[in-house]
């Protein structure tokens, strides 16, 4: 009996690995097929060999990210590798020639990993590490929750707002893990058969997901959208931290308050008061002051318009990294805690965008496909729904990396017609909103997975609350975004 029980996990593992292998083989076959199809099959006039290769690479990326037959970061690294060896000026000789089309510079493909937006990612990770090492996160949580008192409903609101605030500047995953740690002693004081534990546990992933919308560094889809909105060779809208927060921060607060009432409706407390005791190490030395001062300086420089300071958000991101490194607040071991897999995933998306634009594929598609005849409102709604649906099943970063480059091309092709909904910025920021509101399953986001792993909530609890709050947030977010767009607040 023991041997049979032990063999069951091995059989399941082998079956899973075989399934992934079959998926990968199918994806490679589909990529090779698209790579070798007659160019006339695509309906794009004047399609070059290099442009067709980029389409094939995009198919590989899309199918790999959707099936996750290989890790998402591995897909991105594969994208960049394939591009370097097949569509660059230093690719294999057999892929070069006089009639293949415009080849890219390999250094530009590799530079996708060092894009200025990547610095924003790194700054977010570094700030989170510094806050954790110094105890600033514990100190803030302890003092911010105090004004909400001991009434159960108010404590729930406190956790929603604090988690949302933290996730604006610290990764959603780290925020969820941190806040669930603080909740551990609270659960001990709540009835085991009551719904209070479910309410508090559900509040963490919901607040972490929604809170990420509040700032450009809150979640990767925000930064992917911002990359295309601020591209000097593209839209060049110059949307900075202050612009983004001016409408996203109030929106997040409203959504968190609405979430509070919905959670209470689904999971009412049986115990009316909660005694809070947030414990944790807080550094008392000079490093704490370095961290606090750097946090304040960084956030102020992000919020104050570039016109005043002369320094942009990406450059500001270098300040905390430089200060913490020089002062020893972070060290080489701390750098290993950075989620490099997410950075690689985003870089792969940037490389895809470079391939579409640098080879002329985007321009060729615009000229051949009548985007101008499409309805702007239909584009806005369909893109948002597709993003919401995909983000519930695959990484929201991968979803944004797939959709944003395509939508940037579509929006360029529609020209001035997008003015009725506020321009391209409305569509691309809408993707960031849709990605963050997708949270109805444990696999939808890392915060959901972390909360589900506690065993305190069931999948149907998450589906019920996550779907209701997610769809409502999606609708409200798009309505606000539409009115912001038509007012031309973002240019």
Query: Rounded distance, CA 294 to CA 169, Å?
Result: 13
Query: Rounded distance, CA 331 to CA 321, Å?
Result: 11
391 to each of 5, 108, 363, 387, 401, how far by Cα in Å? Answer: 36, 29, 28, 6, 11
pLDDT for the residue numbered 52:
94
Against a cut of 0.75, is the pTM above it? yes
Q: Summarize the confidence of residues 29-37 as an average pLDDT.
A: 95
SS3 state at 487: coil
Helix 459-486 × helix 376-391 angle, to 10°? 150
Query: Rounded distance, CA 280 to CA 283, Å?
Result: 10
Q: Is 149 left (phi over 0), alpha (psi -120 to 50) or beta?
A: left
Contact assessment for residue 201 and residue 183, using Cβ atoms and an 8 Å cutoff? yes
Query: Rounded distance, CA 269 to CA 195, Å?
Result: 6
CA angle 158, 245, 472 (to 5 degrees): 60
Contact assessment for residue 101 and residue 50, using Cβ atoms and an 8 Å cutoff? yes
Contact assessment for residue 352 and residue 405, using Cβ atoms and an 8 Å cutoff? yes
pLDDT digits (tens, 9 = 90+) for 459-483: 899 999 999 999 999 999 999 998 8
Average confidence score pLDDT of the chain: 86
Residue 387 pLDDT > 50: yes
Q: Which of 328, 316, 317 is nearest to 134 (CA)?
A: 328
SS3 state at 101: coil
pLDDT for the residue numbered 113:
87
pLDDT digits (tens, 9 = 90+) for 72-113: 889 989 999 999 999 999 999 999 988 898 999 999 999 988
Query: Rounded distance, CA 189 to CA 274, Å?
Result: 7
For the four alpha carbons of 129, 130, 132 and 137, in that order, the dihedral sign comes to negative
Element (H, E) at 414: helix 396-414
Reduced DSSP (H G I as helix, E B as strand, rest coil) percent helix, strand, coil of the chain, to 5: 75, 0, 25
Query: Rounded distance, CA 426 to CA 340, Å?
Result: 30
Strand partners, 88: 104
Query: Rounded distance, CA 246 to CA 244, Å?
Result: 6
Label residue 1 by pLDDT band (50, 70, 90). Answer: very low
Contact assessment for residue 162 and residue 176, using Cβ atoms and an 8 Å cutoff? no
pLDDT digits (tens, 9 = 90+) for 319-360: 999 999 999 999 999 888 887 887 888 888 888 888 888 898
pLDDT digits (tens, 9 = 90+) for 185-224: 677 667 767 788 899 999 999 999 999 999 988 888 998 9
pLDDT for the residue numbered 2:
45
pLDDT digits (tens, 9 = 90+) for 245-277: 988 999 999 999 999 999 999 999 888 887 766
Output the DSSP codes for 358-374.
HTSHHHHHHHHS-GGGS
E strand intervals along 250-313: none
Q: What does the block give as tokens for 326?
A: 């020089």
Query: Rounded distance, CA 47 to CA 37, Å?
Result: 12
SS3 state at 89: coil
Query: Rounded distance, CA 481 to CA 32, Å?
Result: 40
pLDDT for the residue numbered 11:
66
Query: Rounded distance, CA 358 to CA 367, Å?
Result: 16
What Rg value do the Cα atoms of the chain yield, rounded? Answer: 24
Query: Rounded distance, CA 331 to CA 343, Å?
Result: 19
Query: Rounded distance, CA 144 to CA 132, Å?
Result: 16
Output the DSSP codes for 12-60.
HHHHHHHHHHHHHHHHHHHHHHHHHS-GGGG--TT--HHHHHHHHHHHH
Percent of the chain at pLDDT exceeding 90 = 35
Q: Summarize the confidence of residues 419-444 as an average pLDDT.
A: 89
Q: What does the block give as tokens for 173?
A: 């995953």
**Which ranges constitute the DSSP H helices of 189-278?**
196-211, 220-229, 241-266
Contact assessment for residue 195 and residue 202, using Cβ atoms and an 8 Å cutoff? no
Query: What is the total residue count of the chain?
Result: 491
Output the DSSP codes for 370-406.
-GGGS-HHHHHHHHHHHHHHHHTTS-HHHHHHHHHHH
19 to each of 29, 76, 428, how far by Cα in Å? Answer: 15, 21, 34
Query: Rounded distance, CA 349 to CA 58, Å?
Result: 10
Q: What does the block give as tokens for 68?
A: 């996750």
Q: Summarize the confidence of residues 155-182 as an average pLDDT.
A: 87
pLDDT for the residue numbered 349:
83
């Amino acid at each position: 009996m023991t041997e049979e029980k032990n063999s069951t996990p091995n059989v399941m593992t082998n079956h899973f690995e075989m399934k992934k292998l079959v998926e990968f083989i199918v994806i490679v076959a589909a990529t090779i097929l698209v790579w070798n199809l007659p160019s006339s099959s695509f309906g794009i006039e004047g399609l070059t060999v290099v442009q067709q290769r980029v389409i094939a690479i995009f198919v590989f990326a899309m199918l790999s990210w959707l099936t996750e037959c290989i890790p998402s970061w591995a897909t991105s690294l594969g994208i960049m590798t394939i591009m370097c060896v097949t569509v660059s000026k230093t690719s294999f000789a057999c892929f070069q020639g006089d009639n293949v089309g415009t080849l890219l510079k390999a250094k530009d493909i590799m530079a996708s990993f060092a894009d200025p937006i990547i610095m924003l990612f790194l700054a977010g990770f570094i700030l989170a590490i510094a806050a954790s090492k110094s105890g600033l996160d514990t100190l803030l949580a302890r003092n911010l929750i105090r004004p909400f008192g001991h009434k159960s409903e108010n404590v729930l609101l406190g956790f929603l707002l604090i988690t949302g605030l933290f996730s604006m500047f610290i990764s959603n995953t780290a925020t969820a893990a941190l806040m669930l740690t603080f909740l551990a002693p609270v659960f001990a004081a709540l009835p085991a058969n009551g719904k209070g534990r479910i309410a508090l546990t559900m509040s963490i992933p919901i607040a972490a997901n929604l809170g990420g919308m509040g700032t450009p560094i809150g979640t990767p889809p925000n930064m992917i959208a911002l990359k295309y909105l601020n591209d000097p060779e593209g839209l060049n809208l110059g949307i900075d931290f202050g612009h983004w927060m001016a409408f996203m921060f109030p929106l997040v607060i409203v959504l968190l308050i609405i979430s509070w009432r919905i959670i209470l409706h689904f999971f009412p407390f049986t115990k009316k008061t909660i005694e809070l005791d947030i414990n944790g190490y807080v550094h008392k030395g000079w490093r704490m002051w370095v961290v606090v001062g750097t946090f304040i300086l960084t956030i102020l420089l992000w919020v104050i318009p570039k016109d005043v300071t002369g320094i942009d958000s990406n450059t500001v991101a270098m300040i905390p990294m430089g200060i913490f490194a020089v002062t020893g607040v972070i060290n080489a071991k701390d750098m290993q805690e950075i989620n490099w897999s997410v950075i690689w995933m985003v870089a792969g998306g940037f490389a895809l965008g470079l391939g579409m634009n640098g080879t002329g594929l985007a321009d060729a598609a615009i000229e051949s496909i009548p985007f101008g005849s499409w309805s702007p409102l239909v584009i806005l709604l369909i893109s948002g729904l597709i993003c919401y649906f995909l983000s519930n099943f695959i990484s929201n970063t991968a979803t944004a990396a797939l959709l944003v480059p395509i939508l940037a091309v579509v929006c360029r092709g529609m020209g001035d017609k997008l003015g009725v909904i506020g321009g391209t910025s409305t569509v691309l920021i809408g993707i960031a909103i849709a990605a963050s509101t997708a949270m109805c399953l444990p696999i939808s986001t890392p915060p959901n997975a972390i909360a589900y792993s506690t065993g305190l909530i069931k999948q149907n609890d998450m589906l019920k609350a996550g779907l209701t709050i997610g769809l409502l947030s999606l609708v409200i977010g798009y309505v606000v975004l539409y009115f912001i767009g038509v007012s031309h607040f973002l240019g």
